[in-house]
Structure 1
């Protein structure tokens, strides 16, 4: 039987670093909330059997009125951390007929710059791959390691950080989503790894921990993850520029 395509959109985080009074995926940008753009991109790809949105169990912000006639389903099965949300979402896909040999594309709701063209580029590149793959972009900035562990979340502007070293950027790529894997191999990764921790920041990591080497497919700067307050303006600039790359 020909494998089918399923999409899993993760929408269970609270986005605390975004400085928004509501979870960032529900923040309005260019006329729609961030979640809308992710669902719309997959909705435009009619080859997908089902798009499932994973919500937090206590989500009170989701409103279908903001999503119009887009095709999707929802499940309030999100976990406290990312990998729990993915694992729970994979289990729920079985209710829609998904099986081990089918493909799943896992995507972050906070990446509204995803386009149908990028989705189809990933699918075409990975379809016959024995492992699967992800979209990513090469690192172009100089990377500095600092002495504090607070570099990713620091809010206090008065704190003084010091560089401890400069890291080589050769062969480094910045992972994005979607990440595309067979449902069965991804579920097996969760079982064998026996781990769901903050260290598992994407699905590729789970497979890498078992020795797999997922494929890399060129992504796009447009497909960045909205994380900080200033990112909303950047997302709006991308989203108001009508492009399908």
Structure 2
């Protein structure tokens, strides 16, 4: 791992080093830095809940989940599914190649696949919940958890923001404009595409009555 990060509490396992090299090689630098910061904030917010790494959760798995959570936004991870699922599948392939056990791979897969679903992810084990919490905090601090004095400066000195939120928006929308199936109506990527294109969402009735359909609206009188 780059010695730029020496004063930050990243895991120093062989797998962590390999994962950093891999993800750094496939992701936009702004997204890579976001993923690394997500771990630092997820770990810190876990400590605020009394969760200690390698006592209450597997610290390496949390790191892998954070590092790989946006890997679906890379050219290598860009498949035909939502970027969260594409990223989870890419993470599983990479970790399988590294010889990680299927049980641990399942944890990372869930952490990546669920990171857009806060209400679900935060009910899961810490290795999953803290990926979502850390990634969200990096994009917008919640205002209720104050970081130690100087901590943000240290993190941003080692991992500059590089317009992270703006880059994420452009990559998500760019993928979805190229492959509309990646941004179905009412999903987060779909909403970002709607904002970019100004297109109107179809109504529920329009979605349910487009052919082929079961004709549930034929002769129906609304109850509301």
Q: Give yes or no for TM over 0.5.
A: no
Q: TM-score, normalized by length of structure 1?
A: 0.24
Greater share of helix:
2
Task: Give the structure, 1 or 2, with the largest relative contact order (CA under 8 Å, sep 6 or more).
Answer: 1
Q: TM-score, normalized by length of structure 2?
A: 0.26
Q: Which has the larger radius of gyration?
A: 2
